[in-house]
């Protein structure tokens, strides 16, 4: 939309300027803690912690009158003293199909709670709780937004496979519900009085519920008269700074302890800046926090490192891991939630095990929690994928490099930056426009003064294989002359004031704004439709979307977000659905982009806020970081935690958003960023320019190499996304995930795996003379991917790494596909030949995969893909179709389209064979031919390669085998 100048001058910039000034004032400073609640300042959280303290005291004084306590003992003798005011109502336990139901109530509050415990086929257990007869309905729809198929068709176990036995020992009644699913036996032991639940896998206890007695369910109640005790504890009203939160339903929170028996490490529940292995949160030990991990999406300026504070996104999925097993917990609730973590380490006692105690508490809604039994990590992700959809195949260009800045000034600037990439032979795929392309931050308008020819600009970019991304935030400027606001207002699409009347209005970038209520399907559809080419005529199908400020950020709201008592679709309070806001905006955008072309093309969008389910819609990034070594280092556990929780497609602003990186930091950030799943450079408008060439030589060459390495490995990244989309396995993985029985790796976070075959040892400290220690895990050799020098397993080696180099190792036993020709963008690589790197293990074996599709449509769902399984043994490399290959007509058409795309080189690294082998035999389509073999490194393989005499590399030159066919190459 082109707006006239008079309208532009009427743009309300006051709020924007004030907000920006306040933002700038804080650059380089620490977060302002006073703006965000501590656990003690959030009334329900304070109540749950106080309850936990009371229960801890009662455990310490077991003769207390007011609680029931018992000592139950599980199969392996894990006695757990339980003390809880909740017990099962006599005779209320029933097994009905795959579900056990029971009524549980507090010893004083005679309000029965309905419990459901259900087994899924994979052994996952779902536990749900709410009042039998709630006074008013609770919000119980979070699962519809989060779970696969809205949670409507979860694969529950067959009732025939589930048995329940009841026994009473010393007055303690225990029900054991057993389920056998072929290979494993699962059982849930539920004690009646007090109510506790223990989950055993093959007879071993793994997760225990309420064994610390912290289950606490604030039943809905009539509003008491003023002055009642309930009011005093913030049950009906609480004040933070200038904001008072009136709670129309009063206290309605609930909490539960989930204890991981036999574990010392828990991971996940992003987004926080804490270490990968989550810290204790109840003080005490060295470095322990005194605040729980908070799960509440917030726009936090200058977010602090090493903190459990909430930031932009969250995903309540946690893993626990020990040398024998990995188990998971998925807490399905969309209100403010906190998680306390404490550990009891016990490494030698007879039958005593370490335990990680976790205490979860949510402000509203119903309790709905999944316990995933593992026991392997792959099992946990299979179980997770059963209940939650996984990352879909992304648009292929999105895996390339993205260049962003707040803001590229004008059209000339955009095209000049693009041309500079070409001039410096640095590939990139996407250039981004921040808020300044609009008329006064009115999204779906276009500032023609700065960007006079939007279509021409996009065509020019597209001619060189590039895409454009423009920002679109969820706050809509209140302005009668602005079509979007007018339509939204007329149709009632905005979030409503407390009480439900009138649009909520508050301040964000454009000034006074209202917020689209994406929970309303009609509003969501309407907003998504704005991405239609008819509605947004300045856009083309080469333009994609960035959803920012969607926690949602509200400059003058409590904690920089919305008042919890605002009313959203269905009459629910914002309190109930706060954490869904960003995700529902992503969904609207995704669906809008999907619908904008007659044949659906895979959308690409980036969001700052996220929640469980966001992985279905696109990428996220870690928001406004700072150009410092600390933020560079912290990006690794942050992105690993996202990946652990299933939010795979994540990145951090390369270079740091605030502040100016020096050339060494910028170079190291590009070198690390090339291994982020989402790879984008971005900077605040107040920073100096820092595009890859700005610092000149030698830095531009180093950065070029880093970006080129990303492009060489795009086939590998794409294949990893394929795996993630099928199995849920993270793209980047903590070391322990690949080496689960090596406790030294359980807290490792400076080194990580990209898939199962590449180990990246990040360099996150200045001063290249300081050596970096790398532990080579497992049993197979590792190969430096640049020099091909081999390192034996279980060796710790020190490396002094100058700025030209990085530490990246291929795992012996893997085959990694690359495309070595360097191009302007990934679009130009589509017809390029492949190189296969074979890194052999000690037995001379290696295996790998390659997945290819058209990179943009959904035809792959009808079989239009090539997926090869590559195996090397002895001196023979074999390519076979993966069993998932379907011989459909779509497959045949795709294979036809790919004909002529060959393997141009096979490099076998680490295989000691006679040097006189001069040729290899290629068998393809029933014919046999010979090709040359060389024994030295070709400088064509990698620009940064150096020849190493002690690691043999056999290069099979141009075997020219079809990438999509069966063949064998032997020498
Ligand atoms: C906040 C985002 O985090 C940042 O990346 C962006 O540049 C600004 N909003 C302006 O849109």
pLDDT in tens, 278-328: 999 999 888 999 999 999 999 999 999 999 999 999 999 999 999 999 999
Q: Which residues of 208-239 are buried (b: 16+ CB within 10 A; e: fewer)?
A: bbbbbbbbbbbbbbeeeeeeeebbeebbbebe
Catalytic residue from among 257, 447, 548, 853: 548
- Average of per-residue pLDDT across 513-542: 98
Ligand 1 neighbour 551 (Cβ under 6 A): no
Lowest mean pLDDT among 227-236, 317-326, 682-691: 227-236
267 alpha carbon to ligand 1 midpoint, in Å? 28
Q: Is the pLDDT of residue 939 over 50?
A: no
Give CA angle at 818 (870, 838), nearest 5°: 45
pLDDT value, residue 883: 98
402 contacts 426 by C-beta, under 8 angstroms: no
Helix residue spans in 433-520 (DSSP H): 454-463, 483-490
Residue 404 alpha carbon, nearest atom of ligand 1: 7
Q: Which of 548, 582, 656, 659 to mutate to test the pocket of ligand 1 (most atoms within 8 A of CB)?
A: 548
Strands (DSSP E) found in 501-651: 506-508, 511-515, 543-547, 605-607, 619-621, 650-651
Ligand 1 neighbour 293 (Cβ under 6 A): no
427 alpha carbon to ligand 1 midpoint, in Å? 24
Q: Is the pLDDT of residue 735 over 60?
A: yes
- Average of per-residue pLDDT across 480-494: 98
More confident residue, 28 or 581: 581
What token pair was written down for 207? Answer: 């997760």
pLDDT value, residue 16: 42
Residue 684 alpha carbon, nearest atom of ligand 1: 7
Q: Which of 549, 619, 625, 687 to mutate to test the pocket of ligand 1 (most atoms within 8 A of CB)?
A: 549
Instruction: Establish whether 624 is a catalytic residue.
Output: yes
Ligand 1 neighbour 924 (Cβ under 6 A): no
Instruction: Establish whether 945 is a catalytic residue.
Output: no
Q: Which residues of 928-939 are buried (b: 16+ CB within 10 A; e: fewer)?
A: eeebebeeebee
Q: Report CA torsion sign: 68, 74, 77, 80.
A: negative
pLDDT value, residue 182: 82
Ligand 1 neighbour 360 (Cβ under 6 A): no
Which residues touch 928 (CB under 8 Å, ≥6 apart)? 921, 922
Q: What mean pLDDT value characterizes the chain? A: 93
- Widest pairwise Cα distance in the chain: 94
CB atoms within 10 A of CB 676: 24
pLDDT value, residue 698: 98
327: nearest Cα among 146, 123, 133 = 123
Q: Report CA torsion sign: 443, 446, 450, 455.
A: positive
Ligand 1 neighbour 271 (Cβ under 6 A): no
Which residue's CA lies nearest to atom 7 of ligand 1?
406
Classify residue 664 by its DSSP letter.
H
Domains and CATH numbers, the chain: 5-25+392-724 (3.20.20.80), 39-387 (2.60.40.1760), 733-970 (2.60.40.1180)
Residue 435 alpha carbon, nearest atom of ligand 1: 11
Q: Is the pLDDT of residue 884 over 80?
A: yes
pLDDT in tens, 106-148: 999 889 999 999 999 999 999 999 999 999 999 999 999 999 9
pLDDT in tens, 163-184: 999 999 988 999 999 999 887 8
420 alpha carbon to ligand 1 midpoint, in Å? 24
Band (pLDDT 50/70/90 cuts) for residue 28 is low
Ligand 1 neighbour 435 (Cβ under 6 A): yes
Residue 473 alpha carbon, nearest atom of ligand 1: 11
CB atoms within 10 A of CB 379: 21
Instruction: Name the 3-class secondary structure at 631.
Output: helix
Catalytic residue from among 479, 624, 784, 841: 624
Q: Which of 406, 554, 622, 658 to mutate to test the pocket of ligand 1 (most atoms within 8 A of CB)?
A: 406
572 alpha carbon to ligand 1 midpoint, in Å? 29
More confident residue, 366 or 348: 366
The residue to which tokens 């020992």 are assigned = 169
pLDDT in tens, 579-593: 999 999 999 999 999
pLDDT in tens, 643-669: 999 999 999 999 999 999 999 999 999
Ligand 1 neighbour 608 (Cβ under 6 A): yes
Ligand 1 neighbour 817 (Cβ under 6 A): no
Residue 624 alpha carbon, nearest atom of ligand 1: 3
- Average of per-residue pLDDT across 74-92: 73
548 alpha carbon to ligand 1 midpoint, in Å? 7
DSSP per residue, 539-566? --TTEEEEE-STTT--TTSGGGS--TT-
pLDDT in tens, 907-934: 999 998 766 789 999 999 999 999 999 8
pLDDT in tens, 604-628: 999 999 999 999 999 999 999 999 9
Residue 653 alpha carbon, nearest atom of ligand 1: 5
């Amino acid at each position: 939309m082109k707006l006239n100048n008079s309208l532009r001058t009427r743009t309300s910039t006051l709020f924007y300027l004030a907000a920006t000034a306040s933002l700038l004032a804080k650059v380089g400073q620490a977060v302002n803690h006073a703006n965000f609640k501590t656990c003690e300042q959030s009334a329900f959280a304070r109540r749950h912690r106080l309850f936990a303290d009371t229960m801890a005291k009662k455990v310490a004084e077991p003769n207390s009158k007011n609680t029931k306590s018992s000592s139950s003992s599980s199969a392996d003798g894990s006695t757990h003293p339980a003390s809880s005011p909740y017990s099962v109502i006599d005779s209320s336990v029933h097994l009905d199909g795959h579900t056990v139901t029971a009524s549980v109530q507090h010893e004083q509050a005679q309000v029965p709670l309905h419990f459901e415990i259900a087994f899924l086929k994979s052994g996952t257990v779902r536990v749900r709780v709410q009042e039998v007869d709630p006074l008013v309905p609770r919000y119980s729809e979070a699962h519809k937004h989060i779970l696969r198929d809205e949670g409507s068709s979860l694969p529950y176990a067959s009732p025939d496979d589930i048995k329940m036995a009841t026994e009473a020992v010393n007055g303690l009644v225990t029900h054991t519900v057993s389920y056998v699913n072929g290979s494993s036996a699962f059982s849930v032991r539920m004690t009646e009085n007090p109510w506790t639940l223990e989950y055993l896998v093959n007879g071993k206890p793994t997760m225990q519920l309420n064994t610390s007695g912290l289950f606490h369910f604030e039943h809905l109640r009539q509003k008491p008269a003023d002055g009642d005790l309930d009011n005093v504890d913030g049950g009906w009203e609480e004040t933070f700074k200038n904001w008072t939160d009136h709670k129309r339903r009063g206290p309605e929170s609930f909490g539960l302890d989930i204890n991981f028996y036999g574990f010392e490490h828990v991971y996940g529940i992003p987004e926080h800046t804490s270490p990968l292995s989550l810290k204790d949160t109840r003080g005490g030990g060295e470095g322990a926090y005194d605040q729980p991990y908070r799960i509440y999406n917030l726009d936090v300026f200058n977010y602090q490192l090493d903190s459990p504070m909430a930031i932009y996104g969250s995903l309540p999925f946690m893993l626990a891991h020990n040398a024998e097993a990995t188990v998971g917990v998925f807490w399905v609730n969309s209100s403010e939630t906190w998680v306390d973590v404490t550990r009891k380490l016990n490494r030698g006692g007879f039958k005593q095990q370490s335990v990680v105690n976790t205490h979860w508490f949510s402000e509203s809604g119903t309790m709905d929690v999944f316990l995933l039994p593992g026991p392997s990590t792959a099992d946990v992700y299979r179980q997770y994928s059963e209940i939650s959809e996984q990352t879909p195949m992304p648009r292929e260009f999105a895996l390339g490099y993205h260049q962003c800045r707040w803001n590229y000034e004008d059209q000339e600037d955009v095209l000049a930056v693009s041309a500079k990439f070409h001039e410096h032979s640095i590939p990139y795929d996407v250039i981004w426009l921040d808020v300044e392309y609009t008329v006064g931050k009115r999204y779906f308008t276009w500032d023609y003064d700065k960007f006079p020819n939007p279509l021409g600009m996009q065509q020019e970019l597209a001619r060189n294989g590039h895409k454009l991304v423009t920002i679109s935030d969820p706050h809509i400027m209140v302005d009668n002359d602005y079509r979007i606001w007018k339509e939204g207002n007329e149709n009632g699409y905005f979030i409503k004031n407390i009480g439900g009347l009138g649009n909520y209005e508050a301040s964000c970038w454009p000034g006074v704004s209202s917020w689209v209520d994406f929970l309303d399907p009609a509003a969501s559809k309407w907003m998504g439709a704005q991405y239609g080419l008819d509605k947004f005529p300045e856009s083309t199908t080469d333009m994609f979307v960035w959803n920012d400020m969607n926690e949602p950020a509200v400059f003058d709201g409590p904690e920089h977000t919305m008042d919890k008592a605002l009313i959203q679709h269905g009459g629910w309070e914002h309190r109930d659905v706060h954490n869904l806001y960003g995700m529902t905006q992503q969904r609207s955008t995704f669906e809008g982009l999907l619908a904008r072309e007659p044949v659906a093309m895979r959308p690409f969008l980036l969001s700052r806020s996220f929640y469980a389910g966001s992985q279905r819609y696109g990428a996220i990034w870690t928001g406004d970081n700072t150009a410092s070594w600390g933020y560079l280092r912290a990006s690794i556990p942050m992105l690993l935690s996202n990946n652990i929780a299933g939010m795979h497609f994540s990145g951090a602003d390369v270079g740091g958003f605030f502040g100016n990186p020096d050339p060494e930091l910028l170079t190291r950030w590009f070198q690390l960023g090339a291994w982020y799943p989402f790879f984008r450079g971005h900077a605040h408008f107040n920073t100096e320019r820092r595009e890859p060439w700005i610092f000149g030589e030698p830095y531009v060459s180093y950065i070029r190499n880093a970006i080129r390495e990303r492009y060489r490995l795009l086939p590998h990244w794409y294949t990893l996304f394929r795996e993630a989309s099928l199995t849920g396995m993270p793209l980047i993985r903590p070391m322990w995930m690949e080496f689960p029985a090596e406790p030294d790796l359980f807290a490792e976070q400076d080194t990580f795996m990209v898939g199962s075959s590449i180990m990246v040892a990040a360099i996150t400290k200045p001063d290249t003379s300081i050596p970096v220690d790398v532990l080579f895990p497992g049993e197979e050799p590792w190969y430096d991917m640049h020099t091909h020098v081999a390192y034996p397993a279980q060796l710790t080696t020190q490396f002094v790494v100058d700025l030209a180099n990085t530490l990246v190792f291929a795992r012996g036993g893997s085959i990694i596909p690359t495309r070595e020709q360097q191009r302007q963008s990934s679009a130009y690589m589509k017809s390029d030949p492949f190189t296969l790197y074979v890194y052999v293990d000690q037995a001379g074996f290696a295996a790998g995969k390659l997945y290819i599709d058209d990179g943009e449509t959904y035809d792959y769902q009808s079989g239009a893909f090539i997926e090869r399984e590559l195996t090397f043994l002895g001196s023979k490399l074999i390519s076979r179709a993966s069993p998932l290959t379907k011989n459909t007509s779509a497959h045949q058409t795709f294979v036809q389209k790919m004909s002529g795309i060959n393997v141009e080189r096979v490099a076998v690294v680490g295989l000691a064979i006679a040097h006189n082998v001069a040729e290899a035999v290629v068998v393809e389509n029933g014919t046999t031919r010979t090709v040359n073999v060389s024994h030295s490194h070709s400088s064509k393989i990698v620009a940064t390669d150096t020849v190493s005499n002690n690691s043999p590399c056999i290069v099979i030159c141009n075997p020219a085998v079809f990438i999509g066919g069966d063949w064998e190459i032997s020498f």
